[in-house]
């Protein structure tokens, strides 16, 4: 079976089920423009989780965005290369067997992202403790 995630489902790109759901929503309707509130109404998930996922997808270059009247709006990137990769991912998702694999990849990417964040926090805290311990 072909691998159509094309490196999209990795930490820093699509690294959670929420981000996968959002990208697939935009891939289904490439003309769609959504605010954080509108995305929350469609997905019925935590507004904070959706807002964070949209911002991270925007930062990763998978979504474009704009601020209008104090509210951010997002849409699918206009980059031809990225759009092609996202379209392939969406087609792959249509295959039930491949869908399970993509869910597993997203969970693994989420675990790896959390592990990296935990490691960075540990290194940061270790460095603080090393320099802030009282002298003996």
**Confidence at residue 1, expressed as pLDDT on a 0 to 100 scale:** 38
**Confidence at residue 136, expressed as pLDDT on a 0 to 100 scale:** 45
Find the angle CA(90)-CA(93)-CA(98) to the nearest 5 degrees. 140
Q: Which two tokens stand for residue 24?
A: 């697939």
Q: Which two tokens stand for residue 136?
A: 């003996």
pLDDT tens for 35-56 read: 999 999 999 899 999 999 999 9
Report which DSSP code applies to 29. S
Longest dimension (CA), the chain: 65
The architecture that CATH gives domain 17-132 is Orthogonal Bundle (1.10)
Distance CA 85, CA 66 (A): 23
Is residue 10 over pLDDT 90?
A: no
pLDDT tens for 84-131 read: 999 999 999 999 889 999 999 999 988 887 887 776 665 555 555 555
Distance CA 4, CA 127 (A): 41
Burial class (CB in 10 A: 0-12, 13-18, 19+), 31: exposed
Distance CA 61, CA 136 (A): 50
């Amino acid at each position: 079976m072909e691998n159509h995630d094309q490196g999209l489902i990795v930490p820093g790109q699509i690294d959670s089920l929420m981000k996968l759901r959002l990208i697939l929503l935009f891939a289904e309707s490439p003309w769609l423009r959504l605010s954080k509130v509108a995305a929350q109404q469609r997905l019925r998930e935590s507004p904070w989780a959706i807002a964070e996922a949209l911002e991270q997808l925007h930062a990763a270059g998978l979504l474009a965005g704009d601020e209008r009247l104090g509210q951010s709006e997002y849409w699918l990137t206009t980059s031809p290369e990225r759009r092609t990769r996202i379209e392939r991912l969406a087609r792959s998702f249509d295959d039930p067997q491949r869908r399970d694999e993509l869910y597993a990849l997203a969970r693994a990417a989420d675990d790896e992202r959390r592990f990296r964040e935990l490691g960075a926090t540990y290194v940061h805290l270790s460095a603080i403790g090393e320099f802030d311990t009282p002298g003996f």
